[in-house]
Structure 1
Amino acid sequence: MKLLFVCLIATLRRSQAHLNHAVYAADIAPISGNSDSATVNGVAVVFEAGDGVTVGYGGFVDGLGVNLDASCTGCNIAIHSDPWTEERYVTDEDGSAQFSNVIVVGTRDLEGRAMIVSGADGTRVGCGLLEMVNNTRILHADTLGMGDGTAMGVESESKVILFPNRDDQVCVGGNIWNLPGDVESTDCSLTNGCGTTIYSGADCSNATTLGEHYFNVDVVATDPWMEAGYQATDSSGNAFYVHCLTTGHASHEGRALVVHSTEGEPQSCGVLEFEAEGEGDHDEDHGSGGKEDGATSSNGTSISLILTFVLVGLVTIPATLWRW
């Protein structure tokens, strides 16, 4: 009779790779044959959340109808019909729109998809195909906890997407971990509450060294960062966010990106740097949206423990396998 042995193999692994959730961008151009869309132009981005079903999107589009508000049922931005039918934009007195949101689409099949912009009457006026964003257009920050207590555990991975022809406009998005669980948007009403903000400083030592919110007062009338941040966390304290805004500055490299608490206190900070060659290549196995096997924490190091049960017959294998 053969004897069966169950061996537990434990692998302890250290990795230097980022989460590498892909970001896609589309240049929005007029739709041929539609005279009403001749001046439509812009950009749109889509961030993967990492759970395989959720994305964050945003962008900037000009040449639309002027002063369109939230009651405009035709003002749609979409990749697919559902659940995109409820995604809307508003425009200013110049017919320009600035938009962002997080949505569950149920797929990661994004590259090559058409991003469609519809006018006030629902007619398609702009279109662009999504392509993976080149590393030269991505600033990256892994943030670490600041201060004492629970704030020390708050970490995030954020990316800032730059646009060649819109150098004072950016889209910022990323994943945050170890926040309080089950936060809702109503918990974020205080100044800087749940904010994700780029600061003028380049030093994450404390709140003083961060400087001020990073925007050009000569270009932007009001602080754009006051409306930017995560809107909710899950039961484990994880959050995903995307927002697109005009800062009025052409350069964002070397600035501090900060995650705030619901009370508006700085909780986690990292300095924005361009991604190294190869870091922008996304991992095909994203799992549940938390940190994946081999993903780093904000200081570039993580340890993951993989437990695998192996059923063998009369075979000798090591009980443990350690690899660093």
Structure 2
Amino acid sequence: MSVCFDTYPGYTGPLNVAGSTAVVKTKGTDSLKVIFDLKGVEAECTDCGLHIHTGTTCATADEVGGHYWDSSVVEDQWLASFGAVYNADEDGEAKGNFKIVTGYGYEDNLGHAVVIHASDGTRIGCGVLSKGKGSKRGCGKAPTKLEACVSTFDAYTGELTDVKGRVKVKFDKDGGSALKFKANLKNADADCETCGIHIHTGTSCEDASAQGGHYWTPTESTDPWTTAGGAIYTSNSKGKGKAKFELDAGTTIDDNTGKVVVVHDSEGNRYACGVLSTEKAKGCLK
């Protein structure tokens, strides 16, 4: 997993950590290694905090949450006493790594927010963990596209057991909320004319409860993730499906990173799901 940092929501100080990176590696739930390459942090910051948090977005400060660890397994190790720190030079740059145990493995940490602190504990930077190391290459460049591989989720008990698909969501370069949505599906519900495909509030595909409902912030008064809003796919008799539409859900690319895309059948049942990421979705249709 890797992460690109940007300014922490609501932080108005002089520090600018945008473009900094961190890579997180795990070995089961026993060991977590954080490798960081930071710029724009507080000069000569000694034993300053770098932690994974409970939140799955950096959209607002309230959603970032506190330290993320399994209290039933270990005590909180996101502390200086356990080495969860960075040390910056006189130019406000820091490189290094540390290892801790949090009780959580790779999949658990995926999609969670990582926070950089100043010497007084102020939160100055935030980013969301995504798969692989690819986000490192894009640090400093504002992403405009999210992608996801979708597939039949485990809790689904219907007949569509081998669904595969790739979703691409492109946002305006100006950081606005208007988006262009595209999807290609294989083995989907056949002969669908106006079947739903939507971004939901959840960050996990485990089941319908974890997926949540439609994700939107009212810019007017109606949910755009509807048939009337154009949020649909069509499929042929062999289950080959396509979606292509534009809408504005009032949410930005940062808001949608880590959220799930849910695919519905002709009766509205949920049967396929995937998590949006800034990483390129590969091998989705194989």
Instruction: Please classify the TM superposition score into its range, dividing by the shorter chain length.
Output: 0.3 to 0.5
Relative to the length of structure 1, the TM-score reads 0.40
Relative to the length of structure 2, the TM-score reads 0.45
- Which structure would you say has the larger Rg? 1
